[in-house]
Structure 1
Amino acid sequence: MNDNNISKITPEILDLAKMCVDTSLINPELYTKYEVKRGLRDISGKGVLAGLTDISEIRSYTIIDSDMIPCEGKLFYRGIDIEEIVKGFIKENRFGFEEVTYLLLFGNLPNQQELTNFTELLANYRTLPTSFVRDIIMKAPSADMMNTLARSVLTLYAYDSQAEDTTIPNVLRQSLQMISLFPLLSVYGYQAYSHYHDGKSLFIHSPQPELSTAENILHILRPDSKYTALEAKLLDLALVLHMEHGGGNNSTFTTHVVSSSGTDTYSSVAASLGSLKGPKHGGANIKVVKMFEDMKATIKDWTDEEEVSRYLRALLHKEAFDKAGLIYGMGHAVYSLSDPRANIFKAFVENLSREKNRMDEFALYSLVERLAPQIISEERKIYKGVSANVDFYSGFVYSMLDLPTELFTPIFAIARIVGWSAHRIEELTNGGKIIRPAYKSIAVHKPYCPLTERE
């Protein structure tokens, strides 16, 4: 096949694709008949219990007289309320990513000496193999940074003489290296793409060992390496809030499933990256930002509640933006009354909005956050409450930090690699059985037909 035609969809492919769709369609009524929990969730949104974890807990309801009563969302890392964790490092004026990484991996918050030693360990691992940037990242740069990140992770396998060793000390070593290297792989991948595709100047800044993970991201991303204290602290907060979210989220469950097969760490992480890339998972905040861009261009008066409400109803009626019928950033698979990560974010977002002179946009976000749940409840049959999720504000934060859209999902990955690592170690420690749920076949049995007799 000619290289120029490698991406071309021919009429033959269209015909074959129609056959694929026709043979793949399943009567929706059969899911009810056989009590299939689509998405491993029941009709009320409660997840099917598939495992146990000691890493984090998501609380969205309380049990009163055997009834599930929705409550304000809570998130616990190793049993500690995320709100208390954030208050702790913010009050003491330090960055939280490194100490929360320690907490998730080892089960306890570090003391000062442990934190210092661990931070130095991460800094020492923040070094790519010789010529890796030139030979791997700079070659065939991809328009999608998640694909670039996955390719880099799989290539690191070739540089690891113990790549197949799945003992816990080796997996921990591999995990710490990837936690340290994800910012470099992501940002360098973007710099290469920006240079070769967009013709921009190429900047490859070396990380600084004395800087935090959040500071290093801004340092290696920006041409002048400059950033404000508030910018670095808000990016650090974003990383902490995205680090972990239970074993059932799509990418972390992927970590468990793939790890249960006994495969290597690099393959496991690459699979989880593929999951996180999806717009229904890690790519959701990009949709929120683009939706608001359309909203700002469409609505004349951003403070007019009636005009904003009409736009939101048009979204639900598939008459606005991408006509998908969704208000992006609203609702969550688990939370109902509130997402604690969104609540934590909002207070700090207002401060950054003020610093960046974007308070009018912040006011619009706040208005949509207030109006959308009511409008969704009026327009849709829902089984639990709807509230803003963490993606609602994170994209706005990243845009104020001047992070390119291409890096929105990789920033998520830079944080979530910590949770994946903790869950992989947990699976390898407690596993033994390969994860294999059941699928019921609904195919009609039919006899084999010889080639000469087929129509």
Structure 2
Amino acid sequence: MLAVRSSVARSFASATRVAGVRHASTKTIQDTLAEIIPERQAIAKELRSQHGSKVLGEVTVEQVFGGMRGIKAMLWEPSVLDSEEGIRFWGRTIPECQEVLPTAPGGKEMLPEAMFWYLLTGKVPTAEETVQFQNELVKRSVLPSHIESTLDALPKTLHPMTQFVIGVAALNHDSKFAAQYKAGMKKADYWVPTLEDSLDCVAKSFTIASRIYRNTYLGGAKDMPALQMDKDLSFNFANQIGFGDSEGFVDLIRLYNALHTDHEGGNVSAHTAHLVGSALSDPFLSYSAALAGLAGPLHGLANQEVLRFILDMVKEIGEGASNEKIVEFIWSTLKKGQVIPGYGHAVLRKPDPRFMALQQFGESRPEVAADPVFGYVNALYKTAPAVLTEHGKTKNPFPNVDAASGSLLYHYGLKNFDFYTVTFGTSRSMGALSQVVWDRALGLPLERPKSLSMGAINKLIGSPLSNV
């Protein structure tokens, strides 16, 4: 694996030195999708025409009351989540993606830009394609003056996620999709301006996030560093919020962004972008709605809760406590009717591969491995599953990605908890909007599932209940 990744990194570094050159063999993202889309359209047409009446599953009363968990009723191309092996992006596991996706020069972690290309196309980008795509995204990340003034005018006490929703929604002012739809265009061409808006939305979300951070925590954006056009989105984000000199933080943000891009389509933020997009709302409006969902405590706030839990544990039992003390603390928490944050997942029944990647990142860096907060991440991983299994009320006693992510951000000095979900939001834009592009390319219709009242359910199942 290391040999493969070092080879990819060397190729990327070589390509970076000639970043201004367009190689004849290098295709743009637009060219690549224009080739791929007809193939996928043909597959979709065949599936619908030859197998449209095939049954994919049943719907139970419990699923209707239980958040529609497990109902197979949504098309999502970039990723599929398996309960046992975790997420696969276009068929590849996270370790497999780490092996083949290019890294930044001098960096060790896969570039989110390479992951974004991969999510859009299902094809691993070459080093040259990655450089070209990175350069395009950084150019697109410059904010219009009206977005800057809008963000700067917001109260500094307004939650960072609310600011993020406003900033992304305001990008709708320059939507190419909205303008071309209003002017009139063929349905077959919807994907073209949708892609352009999606690339703008992803790129500009990083700069919006940086400006929110400076306005909220650093007294304003007056001294915000200029974008470095020869650097990647994650470096520019880190640099603009004051962490550009930390090689560890920059590489962590690259890994964090790549890992959080997509987790199939049923989660709140991804599904929201797909749902709102199905009304032909442009990608900016679709993703701003997704961010509103991500801001909810049951979706995007989990890593903050994990970190608070660990910091409370440090206060109560001290640093470097024995496993026995940790087990006692876990049981004490459970007996109070509280949960162990960061453990369990709606789909997964094994340790989250994203957690494993972040844990490996921490263990590979001596300064992180020696951090007592991160030490408790490892200690909980060794102790909590057995306690939760014995407790018997958790279907999945293993850690999810949130069990590690907050502690790593905290280690490198990003200690503004309310901002953690914003970093999640910059990453998730790549997965959610990749599918929005495919929604338009495949001509998916307005989403309109059937709802039922309890009386209608009672009637359908032939229940003797008479008071519904």
Tell me whether the two structures share a fold, i.e. TM-score over 0.5: yes
Give 1:218 shift: 1.3
Aligned counterpart for 2:389 among listed residues 339, 352, 377: 377
User: Which residue does the alignment assign to 2:402?
Assistant: 391
Give 1:268 shift: 0.8
1:69-80 alignment to 2 at 5 Å?
Answer: 73-80=85-92
1:154-169 alignment to 2 at 5 Å?
Answer: 154-160=169-175, 162-163=177-178, 165=180, 167-169=190-192
User: Which residue does the alignment assign to 1:272?
Assistant: 290
1:82-93 alignment to 2 at 5 Å?
Answer: 82-88=94-100, 89=102
User: Contact (CA 8 Å) 1:138, 1:192: kept in 2 or not?
Assistant: no
Give the secondary-structure state (helix, strand or coil) at the position aligned to 2:88: strand
Paired with 2:343 and 2:294, the residues of 1 have a C-alpha distance of 18
Unaligned stretches of 5+ residues in structure 2: 1-58, 182-189, 457-468
Aligned counterpart for 1:106 among listed residues 100, 121, 133: 121
Q: 1:135 to 1:367 in 2, by over 3 A?
A: closer
Aligned counterpart for 2:64 among listed residues 36, 39, 48: 36
Give the secondary-structure state (helix, strand or coil) at the position aligned to 1:372: helix
What code does the residue aligned with 1:191 have? R
More helix by share: 2
Paired with 1:301 and 1:117, the residues of 2 have a C-alpha distance of 47
User: Which residue does the alignment assign to 1:60?
Assistant: 83
Paired with 1:377 and 1:150, the residues of 2 have a C-alpha distance of 39
Task: Using the aligned pairs only, state the percent identity.
Answer: 25
Q: 1:34 to 1:435 in 2, by over 3 A?
A: same
Paired with 2:246 and 2:329, the residues of 1 have a C-alpha distance of 36
Q: 1:415 to 1:135 in 2, by over 3 A?
A: closer
Give 1:195 shift: 4.7
Question: Would you say how many aligned residue pairs link Structure 1 and Structure 2?
Answer: 386
Give 1:130 shift: 2.5
What code does the residue aligned with 1:409 have? T
* CA RMSD between the two structures: 2.5
Paired with 1:116 and 1:220, the residues of 2 have a C-alpha distance of 21
Give 1:360 shift: 2.6
Q: Does 1:187 align with 2:210?
A: yes
1:16-31 alignment to 2 at 5 Å?
Answer: none
Q: Does 1:147 align with 2:175?
A: no
Give the secondary-structure state (helix, strand or coil) at the position aligned to 1:80: coil
TM-score, normalised with respect to structure 1? 0.78
TM-score, normalised with respect to structure 2? 0.76
Aligned counterpart for 1:334 among listed residues 347, 350, 356: 347
User: Contact (CA 8 Å) 1:238, 1:394: kept in 2 or not?
Assistant: yes
Give 1:288 shift: 0.6
1:25-424 alignment to 2 at 5 Å?
Answer: 36-41=64-69, 47-61=70-84, 73-88=85-100, 89=102, 94=107, 95-160=110-175, 162-163=177-178, 165=180, 167-195=190-218, 203-222=223-242, 226-300=244-318, 302-318=320-336, 325-352=338-365, 354-355=366-367, 358-382=370-394, 384-403=395-414, 404-424=416-436
Q: 1:160 to 1:287 in 2, by over 3 A?
A: same
User: Contact (CA 8 Å) 1:315, 1:327: kept in 2 or not?
Assistant: yes
Paired with 2:300 and 2:63, the residues of 1 have a C-alpha distance of 29
User: Contact (CA 8 Å) 2:140, 2:204: kept in 1 or not?
Assistant: yes
User: Contact (CA 8 Å) 2:276, 2:286: kept in 1 or not?
Assistant: yes
Give the secondary-structure state (helix, strand or coil) at the position aligned to 1:262: coil
Give the secondary-structure state (helix, strand or coil) at the position aligned to 1:58: strand
What code does the residue aligned with 1:343 have? M
Q: Does 1:438 align with 2:458?
A: no
Q: 1:192 to 1:381 in 2, by over 3 A?
A: closer
